Amino acid sequence: MPQSPLNSVTPTPAQTLGFVLTRIVVPVWVLTGAVFKLVEHTPKNLPTQIWQRGIDVGIDLHILLAALVAIEFVMVGLMLFVPKLARIAAITMLSIFVLVLLNEMRTDNFTSCGCLGKIPVKPWQMLTIDSLLLVGVIVFGRNVPRSLWSRMACPLGAIALPLAGIIGCALVILPERASQTRIVANGKSSGSPIGATQPDKPSDTGPQLPTTDPTIPDSPQQGPVPPTPAVINDPLKNPSPTPQPPSWYVQNIESWIGKPWREIDLFKLMPVWPKGLDDPKRYVVFYSRTCEHCEAMFMDDLIIPLDAPITAIEIPQDRNVLTDPAAWKMPNYKHVDLAALPVGITLWMITPPLALRLENGIVTCATESEHKVCLGIP
C-alpha cells in the first residue's frame, strides 16, 4: 500500500522548503521585528496608519505598542513550537503585514514602515519580502510530512516564549510610559528651553540646540551651527510654556482654524517661538528630515519665495535626537526661517508636513500630511 505523503520518511525538496519557511524563516523574521519594537519601545515605530487609528479611538499608544508586540510573540511561539498551528499562524501574520503595508502605501507613506525600528526600510521593500514569504508558505507549506512537522514541537516553548515577550513588554514599554508621565507630573518640563531637559552629557542624546537660536544643523553629529542672519528670524521666549507630555499628536486640526496661533497647544508646548508669526501673512510648515514628501516640498515647492514669508519647524526624530543621521540635506534658503520643536521629553507623533497659513496671527488654514493647500501651491 503506497505511503501517504504526510507520512513520507524522505520529504521532497518542496516539502523541506515549506517546513523551513513556516517553522524557521517566518517566525525568526516576525521575532526580529518584535524585538526591535521592544528594545526601542517607541510607538512612533508603528506604521503611521496604526498609531493614527489608535489616536482616533483614544488608545494609549504605549499600551497599543505593548499589545501588538505581545501578539507577535504569541504568534512566533505558535509557529516555532505548535506544528498544527504553525502554517495558519504564519499565513495570518504575513497577511496582516501585507495589508498594513499596502495601506501605508495607499496613504502615500513611502519613507519608512517602522517594521525594524529606526532601520530605514521602505514599505515597498518590506512588502516585497513579506509577499514572497507569504506565497512561499501558501505554496510550499502544504502537505509537509508529519515527520518534519513533529520536529521542534514543544508545548513548554509555546508558553514560555510568548510569556517572555509579554513580560518584556510589561517591563520595558509600560514603565517607559510611566516614567515619562512622572516627568510631566513633576513639572520638570515647565519653562525649559530647547535642550534643557536633556541629561548632563549632551553627546549621549544627540544634538543640542541653543536656547536663543532655532538654527537646525544639517547633521546631528555636527552640533549647533552659527546663525545665518539672512535665514534666522530672532526667536521669542514663550512666557508660560505648557509642560510637555510624553507624546503629542494632532487632534481635530480643523478646530485650529480661526484661532490665534498662541492658543494652539502645539505652539504652547514650544519654549521658544520664531518671530514673524503675527505678520500680515505667514506660512508655517512642520517637517521631518526623513520625510520624502517634505524633501520634495523643499526642493520643488519652496525653492522660490512664496507670496509670504515661510517658517519651517523641524520635528525631532525621537525624544533624544533631532535629526536622523540618514536625513536628507537641508537647502539653505534665505526666504525660509528655521526652527525646531523641543527635544528631550515629548515624542512628536505628527505626520509631516503639517502646514499652516497665518494671517495677522490667526490660523486660516491647517492641514496634516499635505502642504499645497495652505501654501497656495497649485
Contact 333, 231 (CB under 8 A): yes
Contact 41, 65 (CB under 8 A): yes
Residues 161-174 as b/e (b if ≥16 CB within 10 A, e otherwise) read: bbeebbebbeebbb
DSSP letters for 26-43: HHHHHHHHHHHHHHH--G
Secondary structure (3-state) at 70: helix
| Rounded-to-integer distance, Cα 257 and Cα 364, Å | 5
Element (H or E) spanning 318, and its range? none
| Rounded-to-integer distance, Cα 134 and Cα 265, Å | 44
Which residues lie below 8 Å from residue 86, measured CB to CB, with a gap of 6+?
22, 23, 78, 79, 80, 149
Residue 87 CB burial class (10 angstroms; 0-12, 13-18, ≥19)? buried
- Per-residue model confidence as pLDDT tens digits over 134-159: 999 999 888 777 666 666 666 666 67
What integer best gives the mean pLDDT of the chain?
A: 78
Spell out the per-residue pLDDT of the chain, length 378, in tens.
454 444 545 778 888 898 899 988 999 999 998 888 888 777 777 887 787 777 777 777 778 888 888 889 889 988 888 888 889 999 999 999 999 888 888 876 666 677 776 676 788 889 999 999 999 999 988 877 766 666 666 666 667 777 777 777 776 666 555 444 443 333 333 333 333 333 333 333 333 333 334 334 443 434 443 333 334 445 788 998 999 887 888 878 999 999 999 999 999 999 999 989 999 999 999 999 988 889 999 999 999 999 999 999 999 988 888 998 888 999 989 899 999 999 988 889 888 899 999 999 999 999 988 899 999 998
pLDDT of residue 9: 58
| Rounded-to-integer distance, Cα 70 and Cα 301, Å | 43
Secondary structure (3-state) at 104: helix
Which residues lie below 8 Å from residue 376, measured CB to CB, with a gap of 6+?
306, 307, 357
In one-letter notation, the amino acid at residue 264 is I
Q: Could you tell me the sign of the dihedral formed by the alpha carbons of 105, 110, 113, 116, in that order?
A: positive
Nearest Cα to 114, choosing from 349, 371, 356, 359?
349
- Per-residue model confidence as pLDDT tens digits over 314-350: 999 888 889 988 889 999 898 999 999 999 888 898 8
Nearest Cα to 289, choosing from 110, 49, 111, 41?
111
Which residues lie below 8 Å from residue 272, measured CB to CB, with a gap of 6+?
193, 194, 211, 212, 214, 235, 236, 237, 238, 339, 342
pTM of the full structure: 0.61
Secondary structure (3-state) at 351: coil
Secondary structure (3-state) at 143: coil
DSSP letters for 148-188: HHTTT--HHHHHHHHHHHHHHHHHHHHHHHHHHHHHHHTTT
User: What is the distance between the terminal CA atoms of the chain, rounded to a whole angstrom?
Assistant: 75
Secondary structure (3-state) at 307: coil
| Rounded-to-integer distance, Cα 128 and Cα 194, Å | 41
| Rounded-to-integer distance, Cα 131 and Cα 112, Å | 17
Nearest Cα to 248, choosing from 295, 300, 318, 195?
318
